[in-house]
Amino acid sequence: MARSFPALPGLYAFLFLYFEPFSAIAGALEILIWPGTARWHHSLVPSSAPAPAFLDARSTMGLWHLSGGYLFLGLIEALTLRVARDHLSDRPADQERIISAVLLSLAAYDVAFVTSTIVALPREILLNPSSWNFMTHANIWLSSVLILVRFAWHAGIGRTSFGGISGSAAKDKVTSGKKQK
């Protein structure tokens, strides 16, 4: 039986509870295990040249750090949203506040991710999308779609708003440990 998650329904729940965490964790494992660090590094910028067999220590360390970042993002999103769902099921406005914080943080990351991908790609590759590989398309288009879906959630599209991010639920203020109306 599916658990009720009124603040994150349908497509939003699928994307942010399952698809995105799985994708991030899979990305982490791809760097570390298969296809491996050198092939991952090589695929960041489309090229017809063969992937190197090995990378220098700095590149390897940087990609392993990236792998840890992907793992962190996937776990923090999946676990934080599940805690909100499971422990705040009767408090959808509080669910909304937590979801908002997670989605805004990930949107900021995605904007930086897409921007850095676009800026770092050689101009002749950037302006020729037919030369892009799967990694380039995913880095730009998938991340851009996720940004749009995050903003759609914040705009209340396709979901009920419970006032958790609009400020209307701020009728109970906590000051010095006491609730005031």
Whether residue 171 contacts residue 34, with contact meaning beta carbons closer than 8 Å, is answered with no
Task: Give the residue from 11, 19, 2, 12 showing the smallest Cα distance to 142.
Answer: 19
* Contacts with 114 (C-beta within 8 Å, 6 or more apart), sequence order: 139, 140, 143, 144, 147
Please tell me the predicted confidence (pLDDT) of residue 175: 36
In this prediction, residue 34 has a pLDDT band, given cuts at 50, 70 and 90, of confident
Read off the pLDDT of residues 166-176 as tens digits, 9 standing for 90 and up. 654 444 443 33
- Single pTM value for the model: 0.86
Positive or negative, the Cα torsion across 57, 61, 64, 70? negative
Residue range 45-61: mean pLDDT, rounded:
94
Read off the pLDDT of residues 119-155 as tens digits, 9 standing for 90 and up. 999 999 999 999 999 999 999 999 999 999 999 999 9
Distance CA 9, CA 23 (A): 20
Q: Which helix (H) or strand (E) holds 173?
A: strand 173-175
Which whole-number Å values give the CA distances from 10 to 7, 17, 89, 136, 173, in the listed order?
10, 10, 16, 28, 31
Mean pLDDT of the chain: 90
